[in-house]
Amino acid sequence: MLRSLACVACAMTLIFGCESSDDDPEAPADTDAGAPRAPAPDTGPSASPAPPEERPPPSPAPEPPPRAVTSESIDVAGKPRAFVLVTPGTYSPVRRYPLVLVLHGDGLDGAAMRAAFPFDDVSGEEAVVAYPSGAGLGWDLYGPAETNEDLAFLIALVASLEARFAIDPARVFATGFSSGAFMLNQVGCRRPSLFRAIAPHSGGAPQEPDDPTATRWDNNFTRCADQTLGGGPAVLVIHGTADTVVTYDSGEFAASYWAYVDGCQPTRSLHDATPECAHHDGCPAGKPVVLCSVPNLEHALWSEAGETAWTFFRAL
């Protein structure tokens, strides 16, 4: 009997000996056992980490194209009126730009003002800037508003540039020095909707000695024809404390004038990191009035005037 079982086992070995089962622990796991094998990666403690992927340094931002500077003129009541215009090199009609007018002092014109006070260097690609020339290298400050050729010029210039360029009509600003600052205050009084904000530098408050339609406010401040309380522009006054041509008290009074017209308190406080500039308290929203008193500055442009004025304009 035992011999018979042994014979049966031998027979089965002969029949199935060439087949292997996946469950057979002795079956080879790799049918390519004779092929060469790649060495295993070195993961031991002595292995060197793979170097980080090296990336080229970022390319510097391309310089914008140069700003376009042109000498131009427009016809106002039959007379050509000159100005220098500066537009951004990256100007695009699909966006809206602020417009800034820069008014010169006596004895200069628009081109000379840009040479002395290149406001477009501060505004850069963000604004269209115009430097108008007053008649006779000055400005008609007190000729009655209805017949004042310089006032008509500034109004026409703003309208012309708004028609030609993508100007934001709610962001039309102006700055000026000396008689240009006086002119800005006159325009702010006579045509308060022309400029959203003004930054007169070394000028004085509005006066109306020759306009029979002008009156006085209850505190005896000048009241231009049709002027209303709360209707003036936002104002940044810049004045040197050592100015003997247009004395410092003129700038002090200009700030007090606009604080009254715009509805601010007469008191002032420092609100930012510019120690020269004090803000009138209690001004209505969007109508700040600020006085920047520059120590020891005579009748000259403050080196920080452009940056300070542009920061003031941009915040509105």
pLDDT tens digits along 127-159? 999 999 999 999 999 999 999 999 999 999 999
Residue 245 has pLDDT above 50, yes or no: yes
**pLDDT on residue 18:** 36
φ, ψ of residue 167 to 5 degrees: the values are -95, 135
* Exposure of 154 in the CB half-sphere (CA atoms within 13 A): 34
- Mean predicted confidence (pLDDT) in 82-93: 97
Question: 60-64, 261-265, 275-279: which range is least confident on average?
Answer: 60-64
101's tokens: 């007018």
159's tokens: 């309208």
> Per-domain residue ranges for the chain?
68-314
Q: pLDDT by residue (tens digit) across 91-100?
A: 999 999 999 9
Q: pLDDT by residue (tens digit) across 18-42?
A: 333 344 434 444 444 444 444 444 4
CATH number for the region 68-314 comes to 3.40.50.1820
Determine the Cα–Cα distance for residues 311 and 258; give it in Å rounded to an integer.
Answer: 19
**pLDDT on residue 60:** 76
- Mean predicted confidence (pLDDT) in 109-117: 98
Determine the Cα–Cα distance for residues 73 and 152; give it in Å rounded to an integer.
Answer: 14
Query: What is each CA distance from 13 to 3, 6, 23, 38, in whole angstroms?
Result: 15, 11, 17, 37
Query: What is each CA distance from 176 to 19, 182, 186, 226, 303, in whole angstroms?
Result: 103, 8, 12, 24, 14
- Mean predicted confidence (pLDDT) in 113-122: 98
Determine the Cα–Cα distance for residues 188 and 197; give it in Å rounded to an integer.
Answer: 9
**Who wins on pLDDT, 20 or 276?**
276
Residue 79 has pLDDT above 60, yes or no: yes
44-48, 274-278, 292-296: range with highest mean pLDDT:
292-296
Q: pLDDT by residue (tens digit) across 198-213?
A: 999 999 999 999 999 9
8 A C-beta contact, residue 254 and residue 204: yes
φ, ψ of residue 314 to 5 degrees: the values are -65, -25
The pLDDT confidence band at residue 3, using thresholds 50, 70 and 90, is very low
Give the chain's mean pLDDT.
87
Residues 6+ apart with CB under 8 A from 281: 264, 265, 267, 268, 269
Question: 7-11, 97-101, 117-121, 280-284: which range is least confident on average?
Answer: 7-11
- Residue showing tokens 């002032």: 268
Among 178, 170, 10, 28, smallest CA distance to 97 is for 170
The pLDDT confidence band at residue 48, using thresholds 50, 70 and 90, is low
**pLDDT on residue 11:** 36
**pLDDT on residue 157:** 98
Residue 263 has pLDDT above 80, yes or no: yes
**pLDDT on residue 111:** 98
Please tell me the pTM assigned to this model: 0.81
